[in-house]
Amino acid sequence: MKCYEGHILTVNQNNDVARYLVEDGGEIVYVGNDLPEQYHSAEVIQLGEKALIPAFVDTHQHFASFSTFHAGLNVMDAASNAEIMEMVKQFAAQSPKKTLIAFGASPYCVKEGRLISRQELDAVCPDKEIMVVKYDGHACIVNSRLLNAMESKVKHLRGYHPDTGEMNQEAFFAFSNALTNSLSIPELIHNMQSAVDFQASRGIGCVHTVSGVGFAGDLDITLEKLFAKGLKNGFQIRVFPQSMNVKTATSRHLPRIGGCFACALDGCFGSHDAALNAPYADETGGEGVLYYDDQKVMDFCKDANRAGLQIELHAIGDKAFDQACRAIKAALDDYPREDHRHGIIHDCLPTPEGIQICRDYHIQMPMQSAFIGWKQEPDEYLERILGHDRLEKLNPIKTFRDNDIMVSFGSDAPCTTPDPIAWMDRAVNNDNAGQAVSVQDALRMCTYNGAWAAFDEQERGSLEAGKIADMAVLSENPYTVPKDKLSCLRVERLYLSGKSYESCRESILPMMLRGLTSRNKA
C-alpha cells in the first residue's frame, strides 16, 4: 500500500485537486484531502512541487508504422536537404540492411523549399534501396535502386512520379506495403517493444492504434492484438483495423473499426489531396481528392454500425469532414445506438453543418493538437494553399468543446512524436487565441477523454477510488505554472497498475504465447 501526498490532479468530473491518493494492489482505494486513519501505515511518497496525474492516452497513432520508423532514420529536424543527404549517407554506411527507411522529409522546413529528390538520394545511397517517407505519412521519395526494383508494380498507379522519385497516393501505398512486408516478425515485435518503452517515457499508458496496411493478410492487426494481450507491464493498446470490410474486425473479435488508409476519406494538406469544398488558393488549384463516393462510405458505416462496431473515419478537408458526418448520421438514422462513440479523426477543417451533426449525434473527435504551429506544415504554407479565412478555421478545439463534442488528443505517430506535454502546450497556447482551451481542459483531452474514446473510462482516465492506478508524475503542477512554460514540464515517472513502469523487452515467444491466452484487452 502506498500513499501519494501532494498535488493530485484527479481529472474527475469536477477537476478536483486532492492532497492524498492511496494505491493498494494496483487499485486506487482513496483520494481526498484528509487521510483516514486506516491508511496511516501506508508508505508515503511525497510529491513536493511535482504533480500526480492520470497516465496519458494517445488516441490516434499507427503503432506498427511508428515502431518501424522509430527504429529507422528520423530526418524531421533537418534544416536542409543537404543535411538529410549527410544523415542518409551515414545511416547507409552504418546499417547492415539492404533496404532502408527514413521518415520526416518536408519541403516547408528546409532551406531549399522543396523535397529531397531521387537524384540526391542516389548521390549518397546508390547501393542500397531507400524510401524517405514524407512528414505527413502520405508520400515518399525513393532512390533509383528501389524505383527500379518496384517499377513494374507501380508505374501505372496514381501518384507515380519517377522523375523526382516522389510517390503519392496509390503508388506510395505500394512502396510502403513492399517495405513493411520485408520486415521479419521478430524484427517487427522488437521494434514494437522499443516503441512502447519510448512512449512510456512520455507518460503514455495507453495507445489507440489504427492498423491494417502494408502487411499481407493484415498481419500487423493480428500481431498487434497478440502483442497487446501479451504485455505484462500494464501498458494498454487498443487496435482499430483500418478496413471497410466489417469481418476484418469481427473475425478477430475486435469491437472497433476504422482509421486512415482504407478508411481515409481524403488525403492531407501537405500533398494537396485533402478534399475541399472550394479550390486550393495557390497555383495548384483543384479541390483535392475525395477517395470514395457517399454511397460507399454510407454502406460501410451502416454495416459496421449494425454489427455493433465503433467506427472511426479519417477526414482532414471540409469536404471529407462533411462526408464523414453524413455517413455516420445515415448509419445512426438507419440503426440508432445510444452509446456508439463513433469518431472522426483529425477534423482539421470542419464545417458548421458538420459540427451540428456531431453535436446532435454525439460523434467524438480524436484530434492532433500537435498540428497547431507544426514546423513541418507551418502557418505560412497553410495560408498560401488555403487562404486566410480557412486558416482561421483550422483545428477549432474550443468550438468543439463549447458544442459538447468529446475531444481527445493523439499524435498520429509517426507524423508527430508522441508527446502529450506538447499536445497540452499547443492546445493552451493556440496560435489562434480564440480557439485556445484551459489547462484543465487540455489535460482532460489527454487523459480521461482518451480513455472514454475506447470505453475505458470506468477503469482508467482519472484518479478516482475504484480505478486502476495508471498514473504519471510531472515535474511541476500544470495548473499553476505559467501557460507559456507548459512546454518545460517533464514526465518523471509512470506507474501502471500501481507499479513503476518496467520495460516490455523480453523474449518474443513467451510474450506472443501469453497473448494467445491472456484476458487483457486489445
- Stretch 238-260: mean pLDDT: 95
Task: Identify the residue whose cell numbers are 519517377.
Answer: 162
Q: Which of 500, 440, 449 is nearest to 472 (CA)?
A: 500
- pLDDT given at position 178: 84
Q: Is residue 336 part of a domain?
A: yes
**Dihedral-angle region of residue 218 (phi above 0 means left; psi in -120 to 50 means alpha; beta otherwise):** left
Contacts of 402 (CB under 8 A, 6+ apart): none
Q: Which of 488, 370, 475 is nearest to 419 (CA)?
A: 370
Angle at 482 between CA 479 and CA 488, to 5 degrees: 90
Domain stops at, among 181, 214, 232: 181
- pLDDT given at position 215: 67
**Domain match, 173 and 253 both:** no
- pLDDT given at position 31: 98
**Domain match, 132 and 267 both:** no
Is the pLDDT assigned to residue 180 strictly greater than 90?
no
Residues in a beta bridge with 314:
264, 345
- Stretch 62-74: mean pLDDT: 91
Beta sheet of 129-134, edge-to-edge order: 73-74, 99-105, 129-134, 139-142, 166-168, 160-161
- pLDDT given at position 289: 93
Q: Is residue 161 part of a domain?
A: yes
Residue 409's SS3 state is: strand
Q: Is residue 208 part of a domain?
A: no
Total of domains in the chain: 2
Q: What is the pLDDT of residues 31-55, one digit of tens each?
A: 999 999 999 999 999 999 999 999 9
Helix 318-334 and helix 352-361, axial crossing angle in degrees, nearest 10: 30
- pLDDT given at position 402: 97
Instruction: Please give the share of the chain, as a percent, with pLDDT higher than 70.
Output: 99
- Separation of alpha carbons 346 and 312, rounded Å: 10
- Stretch 497-511: mean pLDDT: 94
Is the pLDDT assigned to residue 76 strictly greater than 70?
yes
**Domain match, 301 and 444 both:** yes
- Separation of alpha carbons 215 and 220, rounded Å: 6
Q: What is the pLDDT of residues 448-462, one digit of tens each?
A: 999 999 999 999 999
- Separation of alpha carbons 186 and 210, rounded Å: 21
Q: Is residue 418 part of a domain?
A: yes
- pLDDT given at position 183: 80
Q: Considering the chain, what is the average pLDDT of its residues?
A: 95
Is the pLDDT assigned to residue 69 strictly greater than 90?
no
Domain stops at, among 407, 428, 457: 457
Is the pLDDT assigned to residue 213 strictly greater than 80?
no
Q: Which of 243, 273, 209 is nearest to 450 (CA)?
A: 209
Q: Model pTM? A: 0.94
DSSP-derived letter for residue 78 is -
- pLDDT given at position 216: 65
Residue 474's SS3 state is: strand
Is the pLDDT assigned to residue 168 strictly greater than 80?
yes
The CA distances from residue 503 to 112, 231, 237, 252, 500, in Å, are 41, 10, 15, 27, 10
Domain stops at, among 436, 457, 478: 457
Is the pLDDT assigned to residue 500 strictly greater than 70?
yes
Fill in the amino acid letter for 81.
Answer: N
Is the pLDDT assigned to residue 311 strictly greater than 70?
yes
Cell numbers given for 455: 470505453
- Separation of alpha carbons 54 and 166, rounded Å: 42
Q: Is residue 2 part of a domain?
A: no
- Stretch 429-447: mean pLDDT: 96
- Stretch 108-125: mean pLDDT: 95
**Domain match, 277 and 157 both:** no
Q: Is residue 386 part of a domain?
A: yes
The CA distances from residue 212 to 173, 243, 293, 320, 484, in Å, are 12, 7, 22, 21, 39
**Domain match, 445 and 324 both:** yes
Fill in the amino acid letter for 124.
Answer: V
Is the pLDDT assigned to residue 491 strictly greater than 70?
yes
- Stretch 202-208: mean pLDDT: 98
Q: Is residue 271 part of a domain?
A: yes
Q: The domain that contains 433 carries what CATH number?
A: 3.20.20.140
Q: The domain that contains 142 carries what CATH number?
A: 3.10.310.70
**Domain match, 302 and 451 both:** yes
Q: Which of 172, 168, 176, 265 is nearest to 212 (CA)?
A: 176
Domain range enclosing 395: 249-457
Cell numbers given for 427: 492546445
Instruction: Quickly count helices (H) and strands (E) in the chain.
Output: 18, 21
Is the pLDDT assigned to residue 123 strictly greater than 90?
yes
Task: Identify the residue whose cell numbers are 508508505.
Answer: 43
Q: Is residue 394 part of a domain?
A: yes
Provide φ and ψ at 138, rounded to 5°: -120, 5
